[in-house]
Chain A
Amino acid sequence: MIQDFGWSSVQFLIMGLTWTVGLSAMTFVLGGFFGLFLAMGRALGPNWLKLVIAGYIQIVQATPLLIIVFLCFYGLSFLGLHFPPFAAAAISLAVYATAYLADIWRGCIEAIPKTQWEAADALALSRIQRLRYVILPQALRIALGPTVGFMVQIVKNTSVTALIGFVELTRAGQLLNNMTFQPFHVFLTVAAMYFALCYPLSWWSEKLKERKSGVSAH
């Protein structure tokens, strides 16, 4: 059936947009949760743990997200676990986001000068207390800008799940294009919607980074 690109098309895309937002949020929560543990393990854990986590980060960061998505979607179903597209999408994006967020946050923890640990140690704080009251609050400040910046990557990268048939914004655009045959209008609208989602995050991320560098520079 051929239809014109009109208001109902936009409504259809907005439906896809809400799935993009939902999947992004889910990815961030899952990736953030696991990423935090891996970041701390990578920065502060025993050597064997550091090695395992570093290996995980290295491998994920050298594999295309699309391949990770395929591995989850096609591959694992053969192991007897069948994932619906949304679950496969969420799991694979979480695997991806965990690695990147862990790497970003490890950098932030390690950026805190050693003297801060020593100062906290001199105050007789326990290892956990040093982390809780001295290191993490400072690391958090540094981490805010890059973390928000990575949220932009997450939002954009949810589009990859369109290729396993999960109907988020990009897939909705593909479907709509099949109905309207107006690819230019459709994909320009899709791009505009992503932009509306991502640009404020990018802008916020830059502000946070500026604030951080402003503090250290003056």
Chain B
Amino acid sequence: MASLRIEDLWKSYGAVQVLKGVSLSVGEGDVVAVIGRSGSGKSTMLRCINGLEQFQKGRIEVAGHMLDGSHSGLRELRKEVGMVFQSYNLFPHLNVAENIKLAPRVVKGVGKAECDEIVVQVLARVGLSDKAYAYPDELSGGQQQRVAIARSLAMQPKVMLFDEVTSALDPELTGEVLLTIAELAKAGMTMVLVTHEMGFARRVATHTVFMNEGKIWEEGPSEELFANPRTPELANFIAPDLK
């Protein structure tokens, strides 16, 4: 059974066509890396999956929820599809524990004791158990991003989406975030990652998707795709990283 299925997705901003018939299937426990130049539509596709962007044509089925471009049922979907952003987007007025508890409490109505338990659990998973009372501006970018991952985990999502989560980080801080994601992958979380980290995609992702000009240009098992690119566009794109 596929956790995520995208069928013939079309999306435009005014006259600019961003997605031109994207279809993709992600099985349970799959880790899919989406790579491509900026403007290739990869982030837009990701944002369509949890309804942050509306689309004109196509169907998305994710974690058992159907999306058809309208807004109905979005909240139910988002309870089960986590998203982590490039700019972390922690809530600055809340400490780490409160950031994590907020959605379980107000969206799912989880009780106080259970919330506290969730906090302990997810912070342990991202290796930040000692930071429950820190405020976002007291943390490094890498730590903030790991808290953002923990916050998303607290909703116990079936699918997680990562939108260039290391792009805003200094090089020396990307490692810790990638490590956290790799551990999630090992634990069997279904994930779609838009990323610029080629080496990481190759190592961690079961599948890699190369997007170009609003289409899925090439896809396949990561090792194979990176080893033998079939199109010149992909070969060009990954060339600098292989040197």
> Would A and B touch once assembled, by the CB under 8 A criterion?
no
Could you tell me which B residues sit within 8 Å of A by CB distance? none
